[in-house]
Chain A
């Protein structure tokens, strides 16, 4: 299994995506910091929670789309370019091959969101005293308290990141994979503010979406031995 992961990693030059990851994190950070600083006297964010709610939404949208790019590269492209025909003539259990691919997508989504959240938190901790992004100073305990929920939310997003697989596999199209990811990303993170909550805050919605994603992943894993490659 490790070998398969390593080969997928090498084959798709996954290391090159780290540059993209860093650019995304910096981009999100700059965007929220500029919003906070630019809002001037009438402060946009009251406190840390307020600030992070927007940041988290941005992180989730960005990385669900990013993951769909990886997904289309790892799975959809392989079918589209028919290299899967080659891949399946290797003496490997096809289910394992599929599992390796899907775990990479899931893992990428999970870790990139965790890394992004962590980096931005650390940056905020040091930047806030200097730039006063929000009024109430942030305490380290307050940050640590968000860790469990961050992990749970991230896990759910990683599950959601597999949903585009369904749309992409229907026509083996990269475009529809990414489009569906954009739509899903915006749909469940759509609204921000005091009165209206985003879909993501109703805990049941992300849970269902996550299960749906995992199920889609499982189905393509389950079917891989049965489907004809024509």
Chain B
């Protein structure tokens, strides 16, 4: 598949402090790439570098196979974006803002503005001035602005900040629609893991400016995501049984009464039988799915130990 955004060994320092260090990432055509990371991990900085608002200290960015230099600007016509909090010209109305945007990009398609406003559910307020808008409405308008010119790439930095649950659902559906029907490549960042999990095809996990991992969601789902959670009364004794009698090595002690087993080749009943035979009271045994959140937290915490 064609790679739309290629980033190679990208670093950025502000006043000697490295906020992004040696990031490599590849965003493929027509996928939703979720950017995960705690606040201050460097998500926005990378997005700004893609948009040439921030100049990299070192490294290379290629958009649609074109390398970006400090003075590149033509490629920007193919990108729609929201960076941080969406800013508008407050004295103009919503519609005027969008029209101005189209004018600047050089897209003069009839009805595009109305269509975009309709998609984000802002019909009826288009003649209001921006300073009368709430945060959620601005966020919606920001998305309308990003999609109004029908770009090939969408770069959305925390697009669901300040939205109500219905708004979040609408945006989620909209992004999937844009991907599936228009083949738009979307790079989306968020610190709300579940949100990214539900729509992304690939995720990049960023921490302290480093890209800890770039994985496809499918692989995460496959790899180690299922586990058995057993509730017992005696952890020490259980471990002894697990290790010596069953040969299980991949497990995690959650607390004094709970253990998680990540190995799949031993069946639930086998474990259950062995524990009972060894006089361990089993209060519960259950198959569970680890969510991306757990995976994410594990990675970030693992990262902390090395830091």
Q: Which residues of A contact B53 (CB under 8 A)?
A: 85, 88-89, 228-229
In the complex the two chains form, what is the Cα distance from A226 to B81 in whole Å?
21
Find residues 73-97 in chain A having any chain B CB closer than 8 Å to their own CB: 81-83, 85-94
Q: In chain A, what residue has the closest Cβ to B71?
A: A225
B100-A226 in contact (CB<8A): no
B76-A89 in contact (CB<8A): yes
- Return the contact of A229 from the options B48, B81, B90, B104 (Cβ within 8 A): B48
Q: Is A170 among interface residues, defined by CB-CB distance under 8 A?
A: no
Which of the 9-residue segments A5-13, A50-58, A63-71, A155-163 touches chain B? A5-13
In the complex the two chains form, what is the Cα distance from A83 to B104 in whole Å?
13
B89-A83 in contact (CB<8A): yes
B75-A91 in contact (CB<8A): yes
B289 to chain A, nearest CB (A): 39
B87-A228 in contact (CB<8A): no
A94-B89 in contact (CB<8A): no
Q: Is B134 among interface residues, defined by CB-CB distance under 8 A?
A: no
Q: Specify which of B73, B103, B106 lies most central, judged by the most chain A CB atoms within 10 Å of its CB.
A: B73
Q: Is A230 among interface residues, defined by CB-CB distance under 8 A?
A: yes
Q: Which residues of A contact B14 (CB under 8 A)?
A: 228, 230
On whether A228 and B73 interact (CB within 8 A), knowing A11-B100, A85-B83, the answer reads: no
Find residues 11-42 in chain B having any chain A CB closer than 8 Å to their own CB: 14
How many of chain A's residues have a CB under 8 angstroms from any CB in B? Answer: 22
Q: Is B51 among interface residues, defined by CB-CB distance under 8 A?
A: yes
A228-B70 in contact (CB<8A): no
- Return the contact of B79 from the options A7, A13, A82, A89 (Cβ within 8 A): A89
- Return the contact of B87 from the options A86, A90, A91 (Cβ within 8 A): A86
How many of chain B's residues have a CB under 8 angstroms from any CB in A? Answer: 31
Q: Is B88 among interface residues, defined by CB-CB distance under 8 A?
A: yes
Q: Which residues of A contact B269 (CB under 8 A)?
A: none
Find residues 199-240 in chain B having any chain A CB closer than 8 Å to their own CB: none
B104-A85 in contact (CB<8A): no
B145 to chain A, nearest CB (A): 8
Find residues 67-88 in chain B having any chain A CB closer than 8 Å to their own CB: 70-71, 73-77, 79, 81, 83-85, 87-88
Q: In chain B, what residue has the closest Cβ to A228?
A: B54
A91-B74 in contact (CB<8A): yes
Q: Is B91 among interface residues, defined by CB-CB distance under 8 A?
A: yes
On whether A89 and B87 interact (CB within 8 A), knowing A11-B92, A11-B100, the answer reads: no
Q: In chain A, what residue has the closest Cβ to B54?
A: A228
A92-B87 in contact (CB<8A): no
B92-A91 in contact (CB<8A): no
- Return the contact of A82 from the options B51, B87, B103 (Cβ within 8 A): B87
B54-A7 in contact (CB<8A): no
In the complex the two chains form, what is the Cα distance from A226 to B53 in whole Å?
9
Q: Is B105 among interface residues, defined by CB-CB distance under 8 A?
A: yes
In the complex the two chains form, what is the Cα distance from A83 to B141 in whole Å?
14
Q: Which residues of B contact A85 (CB under 8 A)?
A: 53, 83-84, 87
- Return the contact of A91 from the options B70, B77, B84 (Cβ within 8 A): B77
Q: Specify which of A11, A86, A90 lies most central, judged by the most chain B CB atoms within 10 Å of its CB.
A: A86
Find residues 108-163 in chain A having any chain B CB closer than 8 Å to their own CB: none
A44 to chain B, nearest CB (A): 43
In the complex the two chains form, what is the Cα distance from A93 to B103 in whole Å?
15
A90-B83 in contact (CB<8A): no
A230-B54 in contact (CB<8A): yes
A76 to chain B, nearest CB (A): 14
A205 to chain B, nearest CB (A): 37
B88-A89 in contact (CB<8A): no
In the complex the two chains form, what is the Cα distance from A93 to B72 in whole Å?
8
Q: In chain A, what residue has the closest Cβ to B104?
A: A90
0/1 string, A212-229, CB within 8 A of B gives 1: 000000000000011011
7 A-B pairs with C-beta separation under 8 A: A7-B104, A83-B88, A87-B104, A90-B77, A91-B106, A94-B73, A228-B54
The 9 closest A-B pairs by CB, nearest first: A91-B77, A91-B76, A229-B53, A90-B104, A228-B54, A82-B87, A83-B87, A225-B71, A89-B51
Supply 19 further A-B pairs (C-beta < 8 A) apart from A87-B104, A94-B73.
A7-B103, A11-B92, A82-B85, A82-B87, A86-B87, A86-B101, A88-B51, A88-B52, A89-B51, A89-B76, A89-B83, A90-B76, A91-B105, A91-B106, A92-B73, A226-B70, A228-B14, A229-B54, A230-B14
